[in-house]
Structure 1
Amino acid sequence: MLQTSASARIDPAGLARAQQVVAGISRSFEAKVVGQARLRESLLVGLLTGGHILLESVPGLAKTTAAQTVAEAVSAGFRRIQCTPDLLPSDIVGTQIYDAAKGTFVTQLGPVHANIVLLDEINRSSAKTQSAMLEAMQERQTSIGGQDYRLPQPFLVLATQNPIEQEGTYQLPEAQMDRFMLKDVLDYPSPAEEAEIIRRIDAGVFTPEQAPPAAVSLDSVTAAQELVRRIYIDPAIINYIVGLVFVTRNAGQYIEPRLADFIEFGASPRASIAFSQAARAMALLNGRDHVIPEDVRSLAHRVLRHRIILNFDAVAEQVPVETVIDAVVAAVQTP
């Protein structure tokens, strides 16, 4: 339920404790991952809201390292699943194995039963396997042999896609893409950052023996998640969010006709939900107990880039979806 009363706001002590959780995770992240500040922010938003994240980048930009580092920082279980065309749903969710000695079937839980799961190159798995994984993400449980098994909490899925190699891939359908709260696109490091990566490798920072102790506990993360749900979001901000999403569906009335013609389909109501949840987390990351318009605007690319479907004309003219999103944001009055 949305908090719209000033009396329901968070006490300063609770906000300070949540800030300590965020600071501890951030320190652990920065100790291992060079740069990638926006990735750190996206991972924290996903962790604090329980929303899943789709990452797109070329290989070698520390996606696995980042996910594993966050898991180590919060004492969370971490599993990496390398998606391939022959990967089966049972390889992810689990299966039943016959125990000849006991004469019964024994349930073996799959790697999705972890706090943080990295689905590497999700578009290389078949549609059936993608569907099984996305069902686990949505329902937060798996069904094996007619019995339901709850996934651990907190639970966060990071799925990756490689944009430069499409042979042998199965593109995620739009309806399944919509289930990811955020989609982030990672950039190459700067020359200085790349040199620092080499120095850290030479110093042994990435060896298992150098893994730092956990910065915070899983219980503290759960408490921070509960606090995020109580972050105040004003009705004017809610209307602003809904207005942004509405314009993506009725672009011809609000943005430049040339850009509006590139939109095949606008964003669904899941975009509004993602905006409201992620904006609360952004407010917490910035030490506030309330959402401001800048929290929403800073998330616009990540919330909308996989939800606005552009047509073939946009592809032919190489118009990035971010250009359309910027026009949508500029068209809606800031409260």
Structure 2
Amino acid sequence: MNEFNALSSRDHVAPVRTAEAAQRALKLACETLQIEADALLALQKRLGNGDAAGFTEAVYMLLACHGRVVVSGIGKSGHIARKIAATFASTGTPSFFVHPAEAAHGDLGMVTPQDVFIAISYSGEASELMSILPIIKRLGVKLIAMTGNPESSLGKLADVHLNLHVAKEACPLNLAPTASTTVTLALGDALAVAVLDARGFREEDFARSHPGGSLGRRLLTHVRDVMRTGDDIPQVTPDTGLKTALLEITKKGMAMTAVVDKDQHIVGIFTDGDLRRLMDGTRDFTQLQIAEVMHDKPRRIRPEQLAVEAVEIMETYRINQLLVADDQGKLVGALHIHDLTRAKVI
């Protein structure tokens, strides 16, 4: 009996905390990771040798699918199947998980002849899966099997078999699915990656499937979505006195003002930084007009451009504000770096 056997699920006795117990826990953790790492390396070697044809055939089958990829499994394989289906769906391959028991009671109606069915069972003999596969085959659905035994019932029934065999499970009893589920998950990821690459799946495509994530915000947010417009844009005309321009800067809170002509064409910009540099001089600037001290070639961006492009411009030129202009050079908006931060583009 080891130190951790002091903990009983029946009497809830607290475990004894000893150095020996801690060492045993660490030893088991390292052994688990090593067993699973060895299993992944063995899978890699198989793919590089005899199993390569099966893998590439599965990839071609998935690419040729005109329906959805249906992934199914029971128990721990079912949990892994859900993740594989989610990975396919988020990387450009329409996919969903179906529980084999539920499939036998009506959910099989979701499967069409245009689909590809991935059945996962390490033994290759899961009764729940085997009970629905004759229907799958009768529909003419292509079947990819992921098992640890090519000679199993599932392995023999499949159009393509992918071998999940592991030398042993990481579980000390060699019973609980551990190394085998790790290998299954990794092989599912390998399939998804190979398919997305063959499809030419890009960052923009990934963003469309993940609009709520940081990448989605970066790649789907446009300047027009976050820019300030209307009365919120600080702006003055070239003949405006510097004092009045400073009041406009203070009022609008963007630490700058745009300078526009009577037709709203951008002719310049004046920022807090310009003011500080002006104050470093000895000349009297109280009677100056803004046209005398503005930058006459301000950086600008169009409203239809991505907000992340505004970030790149600001970082490149070390500025905190950016004017937004239409194709005629008219002022239509303004951006401060804080606007991009609030929108979580940065």
TM-score normalised by L of structure 2 = 0.23
**For the pair shown, which has the larger CA radius of gyration, 1 or 2?**
2
Q: Looking at both structures, which has the greater relative contact order when contacts are Cα pairs under 8 Å and sequence separation is at least 6?
A: 1
TM-score normalised by L of structure 1 = 0.24
